[in-house]
Structure formats: C-alpha cells, structure tokens
Structure 1
Amino acid sequence: MGTTQRWTDEAVMLESERWVHVPATSILTENGERLLVHPPSRRGTSRVWRSWPTRGRAVGLILETIEEVRESGGGRLVWHTGDGASPPFMDDLLSRHGFEKTEDLEVLAFELGDDPRPRLPRLDGRDLRVDLVRDAAGLREAHAIESRVFPHSPELTDPEIRDYLRDVEAPWSRKPEPDYADARTLRFLAFVSDPVNRGERAVATAGAQVVGETVRLWGAGALAEHRGRGAYRALVVERCRLAHALCATLALTKANTATSVPLLRNAGFRPVASERRHALQIPDEDRPTTSPTDHRQRNTFNHYKLRQ
C-alpha cells in the first residue's frame, strides 16, 4: 500500500458501526430500532450499541428499554449515541430521562498498511515491556488491573477465559479471516522493573480484537501510581504491531477526548467521527426475578449484520 490512503472515511465508519461487543453467554436483542446486549450476570451493565427510532418513537423506546433492563435484573444501562450510532435528538432525550453523559469519544483511525513491515504510530514506550497474555493467570491479572482502572468492568467469567484461550492458542496466519463473526480477541500487559522483588510488575493492560483487516483497540489503562511512564504508548504500538502480523491493515479506536485523543492524534491517528456514552443506574426496588423474554438470542449475533 505504501503511503497511499486505502481506508476512506466511509469505509472506516462502516468498521466503526460493526464494532459491537457480545460477551460469552450474554443476551442480545436486535430489531429495526435498537441493538441491546445484556450481561450474563445480574446487576451488570446492559448496553445499547445502536438505536434508530423515529423522533415520535424515541421516548417510548427509551422507556421500554429501561423496563426491559429492569426485568432482566440489570443494574446499569449504557446508551451509545453519535455518528453512526443514533439520530442527533437521542442525546437530549436520554438526558431528560435521567441518563448522565459519561464519555465524549472520537473515532480514530490509523493505517498500518499491507507491506511486510507495518507503519506504526509515532509513540515511544520507553523502558516498558509489553507481552501478549497467553494463559488464564495472565488474563486474571489483566482483569484485576482493568477493574481498578475502570470500576464498572464486568466480572471475568469461566466461558470468557475459555474463549480467550481458544483465540490466543489458534494458529497465527497472515491471511485475513473472511467472516466478521470470526474475531480474535487479544489482551496485553505492560510491565515495569520491580527492584524490590528483583523482577517485573504488571502495571497496565489493554485489549484488541482483530476482525478481518481491522484491529479494534480498547480498554487501555494503567494503575494510577504508574501513569506517566509510557505504558499507554507502549500498549498502542505493540497491539498494532501484533495485529498487523494477523493481517490487520487498519487500527480503529474510540478514544476519550479528554485523555487519549491528543496523544493519538499526535501519533498519526486521524479523526473520523464522534460518539458519546450515557449511563443510567437502575434502582433495586421492586426488581422482578423473571428471565429475559423469549425473543432474545444468546450470543448468536453476527458482528457485520448491523444497520445498512
């Protein structure tokens, strides 16, 4: 590819719209108005990834979704809005119904190219070592760090551990997977030297998902006492490098405008769109214990079958 831009903004936006996370044993509801994912555990966070109601139906859809989450035992509802995720009027309506905007995000893209050696973001990882997580112990360590950095992180389940180990142990290939349902999830840890114990200590973690020729970069965070040492930078570069070895030619991320966006733009990522996330706590009172309704599907969603 050289330096020629291959990924147009329209192509990047299509990849952004395909980005929907469906955890193992989760419950998904999709129709023409909304895509909703419930977590496998009660009191967890449900998430509306896409919503496209008419203005006349929007309020009803919000109220119906809140009630559906309440009936399923959910404790928190996160609603995504923005370019490719919702009509413009959804932000104001969510605010009127008790949602609090928790994040402003930019959809950022970086072209890795299809040459044998990737183009990599202009970031310096300093003296940190970054490794791919390859076993259950490392995955639990990464999740422990993630839970300290992001308090609303869901619990790590045994099915998720099994799925992850299957992905990481699968044969590595430079041939892109033809089906968007065949995604490979990878987790990484960043280590610093620990002179007291004469070894190393994991201080940061990040995730990536390789889907076709796109690597989705998510969940990067460092322990508070170790920030400012280049862990975030090192994790970005290593995820891109390894994903390129799996045939990724595009790195895609949805970055917080207040923290990550300036660094990533300076590193060569280009902005493509903006999104926002809104959260609502679901009260405990009168919470029924009924199971989800029959029309939901358990983890059968194909990531590429979104709104056309």
Structure 2
Amino acid sequence: MDHHEVLRLFDRQMRREVAPDHPGVRVERTGTVVRQSGGAGDWNGVVFSDLDESTADAEIAAQVRHFGALGVEFEWKTYRHDRPADLGERLTRAGFVADEPESLMIAEVAGQAEPVALPDGLRLVDATDEAGFALAAEVHEQAFGTDASRLHGQLLDRLAHDPDTFVMTLALAGDRPVSAARVEFAPGKDFAGLWGGGTVAEYRGRGLYRALVAHRAALAAARGVHYLQVDALPTSRPILERLGFTQLSVTTPYIWKP
C-alpha cells in the first residue's frame, strides 16, 4: 500500500467529494471548504478545508457565522496534514474546543476478511430492523457510558432512507447483545468506514473486536471496496496495528457550540 497515494485518495473521495450522510442534510462546497449542514440532531461540520495563513481566520469566521445562524453545534474535523499547520490553534482562538485526537487507520480489505472463530456461546448477527438497532444502542450505552439516543435516531433515519449505505452487526451471548459495530459504505468510493466497535466490559478480551473487523471486512469485500478506514482512539489503535492497519494521519475534532 502506497501510504501517500492512499491518503490522497482518501482526502479526495471521503472529504472533498463527500456525500450527505442522509437525505435530511446537505453538503456544500464553498470555496475551499466542504461542510455538512442539517438540524440539531444531525452531524454538522466541516469535513475538508484547503486554507493558508492568509485565508484561514476569515474562513473560520465565515463557518461560525453559517452554523451560528442555524443555531447548531458543529465540528471542524481537522487532520494532521491539513493546512495551515497551526489550524488547530486558530480554531481554539475562535472559540472551538478540541476533542480527543484519533488515529486515521487504513488497511486493505483483502487482508482483513478472513473469518475469526469465536468462543462457544458467542455469535455475530446483522441487525436489519428497529429492534436490532435498539439493541445496538443499548450496547453503546453500556460499553461507552454515554447516551445513545442520538445515535439510535440517526440509525433509524438511515434505515428509512438509505438502508444500503451501512450494516450494523451485533455480537450475541445467547440472546444478550454484548458488542456492536457498523460498517458504512459510500457508493462509488474505495473506502468503507468502521464505526462503533463497543463491547460491554465483561466480554472484552474474547476476540469480539477482531471478529467484528473481519466480518465487516467481508461485507466490504462483497461490495468491491478496496480499503477499510477507522478513526481509532488510543485504546483501539494497538489492536488495529496488530491486525495490519496503518496510521496515515491523526484527526482531531474541534467543537463549536452556539
């Protein structure tokens, strides 16, 4: 894998040419910025920018005005290789608050799709209805200790409008959901995104994370996707590296609230 070329491809397909994540939002390209705008329950933010020292502050102010007029919180999703080099500092001065950095991890699908055997009593199933997504939200709350009502609502919206753009997979211990993760597809793109990957505490260390990666890689392979992409927290990065993923950049969300 040519790391430089793959990163360029990622920037072009998944940032500059990004599609709306559901029909209720819009993607706009305003000069050197690509943003998604929606309502208070949607993900709002800047996904790509190509700025320099002379244009950055004015563009940051323009985006604050745009989302401020909508009355919504928004995220400026920066990457380590974005310009200018001090973009994060400029966002902080403009009132943004940095969230935890994540590693942009990429792997070729072909090397990840071999099935992983699970211990007896554990199995993977793909959720296809509202009941399954409710179980996934339940796992999310137990695994991460955060409210999953917004995630649940977004999943139901996508089920209604874009069911072919993602698959939610559950790990079950008997009939109890103990882990959940999803894969997201962008039509015509070479990348599939792996999201979630939460496991309740008492079932960690049993191979569920690796099995969910392999399962979703097989789903991506069936669609002809070439690469898997993960925004990995520090807890996930070592696991992904052992599986063969490579860090190509670091992404830091900067949050602005009205």
Q: How far did 1:164 drift? A: 4.0
Aligned residue for 1:95?
92
Q: Distance in 2 between matches of 1:216 and 1:276?
A: 17
Q: Distance in 1 between matches of 2:155 and 2:220?
A: 25
Q: Which structure is larger by alpha-carbon Rg, 1 or 2? A: 1
Q: Secondary structure at the match of 2:255?
A: strand
Determine which of 136, 141, 151 is the counterpart of 1:142. 136
Q: State the superposition RMSD in angstroms.
A: 2.8
Q: How far did 1:265 drift? A: 0.4
Work out whether residues 42 and 154 of structure 2, in 8 Å CA contact, stay in contact via their aligned partners in 1: no
Work out whether residues 75 and 254 of structure 2, in 8 Å CA contact, stay in contact via their aligned partners in 1: yes
Aligned residue for 2:57?
59
Q: Secondary structure at the match of 1:55?
A: coil
Aligned residue for 1:36?
35
| Equivalent residues, number | 246
Residue identity opposite 2:194 in structure 1? L
> For each residue in 1:3-25, what CA deviation from the matched residue of structure 2 results, as whole angstroms up to 9, or x when unmatched?
xxxx4213321342222462321
Give the percent of matched residue pairs that are identical in Structure 1 and Structure 2: 23
In the alignment, structure 2 segments of 5+ residues that lack a partner are none
> For each residue in 1:170-202, what CA deviation from the matched residue of structure 2 results, as whole angstroms up to 9, or x when unmatched?
xxxxxxxxxxxxxx3222112123xxxxxx111
Q: Distance in 2 between matches of 1:22 and 1:218?
A: 17
Q: Relative to structure 1, is the Cα distance of residues 143 and 110 closer, same or farther in structure 2, using a 3 angstrom cutoff?
A: same
Give TM-score, length-normalised by structure 2.
Answer: 0.81
Q: Relative to structure 1, is the Cα distance of residues 151 and 14 closer, same or farther in structure 2, using a 3 angstrom cutoff?
A: farther
Q: Secondary structure at the match of 2:177?
A: strand
Aligned residue for 1:172?
none
Aligned residue for 2:231?
254
Q: Distance in 2 between matches of 1:259 and 1:124?
A: 23
Residue identity opposite 2:252 in structure 1? R
Q: Relative to structure 1, is the Cα distance of residues 201 and 157 closer, same or farther in structure 2, using a 3 angstrom cutoff?
A: closer
Q: How does 1:35-184 map to 2 (within 5 A)?
A: 35-39=34-38, 41-42=39-40, 44-74=42-72, 76-83=73-80, 85-113=82-110, 119-120=112-113, 125-127=118-120, 128-146=122-140, 149=144, 151=147, 153-154=150-151, 155-156=153-154, 159-165=157-163, 167=164, 184=165
Work out whether residues 121 and 268 of structure 1, in 8 Å CA contact, stay in contact via their aligned partners in 2: no
Q: Distance in 2 between matches of 1:237 and 1:187?
A: 14
Q: Distance in 2 between matches of 1:90 and 1:210?
A: 29
Q: Relative to structure 1, is the Cα distance of residues 247 and 23 closer, same or farther in structure 2, using a 3 angstrom cutoff?
A: closer
- Mapped pair 1:190 → 2:171: yes
Q: How far did 1:217 drift? A: 1.4
Q: Relative to structure 1, is the Cα distance of residues 45 and 250 closer, same or farther in structure 2, using a 3 angstrom cutoff?
A: closer
Aligned residue for 1:14?
8
Work out whether residues 115 and 211 of structure 2, in 8 Å CA contact, stay in contact via their aligned partners in 1: no
The 10-residue stretch of structure 1 (150-159 or 42-51) with the greater mean CA deviation from structure 2 = 150-159
Work out whether residues 79 and 251 of structure 2, in 8 Å CA contact, stay in contact via their aligned partners in 1: yes
Q: Secondary structure at the match of 2:95?
A: coil
